[in-house]
Amino acid sequence: MLVGLRAHEEVFRYWRAQRHGGRLPARRDIDPLAMKKNLPLVSLIDVTNPHPVNDPDAFRQRLAGTELYAAYGEEITGKTINEIYMPDQAQYWAQELSLVVETKKPNVGLHSLAWRGSKDMALFWIRLPLSSDGVNVDMILGHDIIIGKTGIESGIKAA
């Protein structure tokens, strides 16, 4: 978990450094090479409605890092929150993401993956607002830490 906190802190500090004059950073300000070691757990979420009001269809997963497959068990890129989650979980994410859009501030939390049959797994997440005009949130940068067993073996065996 401590490694996860450090990774979140790195992503947050990078995001904060991209703010200029109090304006929110845009997607174009984010250089993937500057976050290279964290990319497998990074996501970008499009905000398709400027006033989402907890609407799961107002958020589309533009990009999902390669290690997020372990958490979801499938590719989620291109899907709306409604297409990824069951109704209760979709509503949870719609509320959390709407809060980022409405407050224009980062949000952080812990979300159980029991809904997909993974009682021993959770996502420790952070969501950071992005804005093409510096003011209105139209994309969200995410970073997740998978806590617990993924059930996916790396192929590396202990000696």
**Tokens coding 107:** 């949000």
**Any domain includes 158:** no
Structure pTM?
0.88
CB 106 within 8 Å of CB 12:
yes
Residue length of the chain: 159
Three-point CA angle 86, 107, 81, nearest 5°: 25
Strands in 30-117 per DSSP E: 42-47, 59-64, 107-112
Q: Is 49 helix (H, G, I), strand (E, B) or coil?
A: coil
Instruction: Identify which of 73, 5, 85 has the alpha carbon closest to the alpha carbon of residue 38.
Output: 5
CB 129 within 8 A of CB 45: no
Confidence band, pLDDT 50/70/90 cuts, at residue 155 = very low
Which amino acid does the sequence have at 68? L
**Average pLDDT of 30-56?**
94
> What's residue 149's pLDDT?
60
- How far apart, in whole angstroms, are the C-alpha atoms of residue 90 and residue 22? 31
Question: Helix or strand or coil: residue 124?
Answer: strand
Task: Give residue 54's domain range.
Answer: 2-147
DSSP 20: B
Number of independent structural domains in the chain? 1
Task: For residue 67, give the CATH number of its domain.
Answer: 3.30.450.20
- pLDDT tens figures, 2-19: 666 789 999 999 999 999
Q: Per the domain annotation, does 153 fall within a domain?
A: no
Which pLDDT tens digit goes with each residue over 42-53? 999 999 998 998
Question: Tens digit of pLDDT for each residue in 75-115?
Answer: 999 999 999 988 999 999 999 999 999 999 999 998 876 66
80 domain residue, yes or no: yes
Using a 10 angstrom Cβ sphere, with 0-12 exposed, 13-18 middle and 19 or more buried, the burial of residue 38 is middle
Compute the distance between CA of residue 117 and CA of residue 85 in angstroms, rounded to an integer. 12
